[in-house]
């Protein structure tokens, strides 16, 4: 992962990403491939709840480590870039889901998979962060 700022908070964020989020993603991938695809497991009851929590955990962890980074980053300029990127991500997510929702009411589009909302946020957020960093380079 590219190291941008050299701030201790950024390094901690990257370490948390590497040692917490990535292993959780790997665990999810393993569960999906081995459990659901190879062995066709269909968990029910509390096992299904556990699987659901596990599947959501990388994204929850990602949000938590970004929150920690925002709280720990002492460089106000880096914080500004992050906040602006988050606003772009939130704005794009709200705009897209609102438009999609109204289209859904008229049966013009299929119902949105709620799981895809996280990508609707992450993609514009990442693009905004890159563009802002490029602007201030």
Find the farthest-apart pair of alpha carbons in the chain and give their distance in angstroms, rounded: 52
Contacts of 13-16 with C-beta under 8 Å, sequence gap 24+, read: 13/65, 13/66, 13/68, 13/69, 13/72, 16/65, 16/68
Minimum distance from residue 66 beta carbon to other proteins (Å): 18
Among 2, 6, 38, 106, binds other proteins (CB under 8 A): 6
Q: Which stretch binds other proteins (CB under 8 A): 12-20, 58-66, 77-85, 92-100?
A: 77-85
Between CA 20 and CA 14 the distance in angstroms is 10
Q: Which stretch binds other proteins (CB under 8 A): 23-31, 38-46, 74-82, 123-131?
A: 74-82
Minimum distance from residue 8 beta carbon to other proteins (Å): 10
Question: What are the residues binding other proteins (CB under 8 A)?
Answer: 4-7, 74-78, 80, 133, 135-137
């Amino acid at each position: 992962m590219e190291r941008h700022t050299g701030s201790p908070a950024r390094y901690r964020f990257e370490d948390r990403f590497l040692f917490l989020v990535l292993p959780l993603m790997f665990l999810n991938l393993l569960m999906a491939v081995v459990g659901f695809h190879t062995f066709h497991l269909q968990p029910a009851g509390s096992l299904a709840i556990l699987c659901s929590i596990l599947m959501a955990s990388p994204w929850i962890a990602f949000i938590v480590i970004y929150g920690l980074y925002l709280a720990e980053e002492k460089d106000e300029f880096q914080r500004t870039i992050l906040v602006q990127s988050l606003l772009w991500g939130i704005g794009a997510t709200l705009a897209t889901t609102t438009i999609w929702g109204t289209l859904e009411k008229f049966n013009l589009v299929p119902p949105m998979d709620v799981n895809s909302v996280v990508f609707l946020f992450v993609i514009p957020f990442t693009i905004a962060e890159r563009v802002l960093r490029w602007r201030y380079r």
